[in-house]
Amino acid sequence: MATSYNLALPYDIDGRARTAETPDDTHIRDLVEQVLFTAPGERVNRPEFGCGLLRLVFEPNSDALAAALQFTVQGALQQWLGDRIELETVQVEHQESTLRVTVAYRIRRTGRREVATFEEER
């Protein structure tokens, strides 16, 4: 199967001074990251987009926060990327001042399994 390319996210310029492109697998990981770090209300034409991971920076780190965040992340990913990925697991861990979110998913188009980890230092 031929690799297709998409706009790089966040938007970037490549070495040729053109819009940067990225392969499908990387693009989907970038989309996952956008869902996690975009706060609802941040996008004008899609005010409900995102799960707002960054707004939790000042919340007390606890098991309750991790459980709520796991539910929120899973729901947002299924809502916004459910046509592109099959979500397998969402794991949220907290250790002292770090919140770590690990997402395992399968890309529907290729069947390839991916695992992406995102950390937020508090």
- Rounded Cα distance between 83 and 111, Å, is 13
Asked whether the bond before 10 is cis by omega within 30 degrees of 0, the reply is: yes
Across 33-54, b (16+ Cβ under 10 Å) vs e yields bbbbebeeeeeeeeeebbbbbe
Give the pLDDT of residue 35: 93
Q: What is the pLDDT confidence band of residue 89, given thresholds at 50, 70 and 90?
A: very high
What does the domain layout of the chain look like in residue ranges? 5-121
Those residues with Cβ within 8 angstroms of residue 83's Cβ, 6 or more apart along the chain or in another chain: 108
- Rounded Cα distance between 100 and 93, Å, is 5
- The CATH architecture that domain 5-121 belongs to is Roll (3.10)
Which residues on adjacent β-strands are paired with residue 103?
90, 116
pLDDT in tens, 28-63: 898 999 999 899 988 889 999 998 887 776 677 777
- Judge whether residue 117 has pLDDT over 80: yes
SS3 34: helix
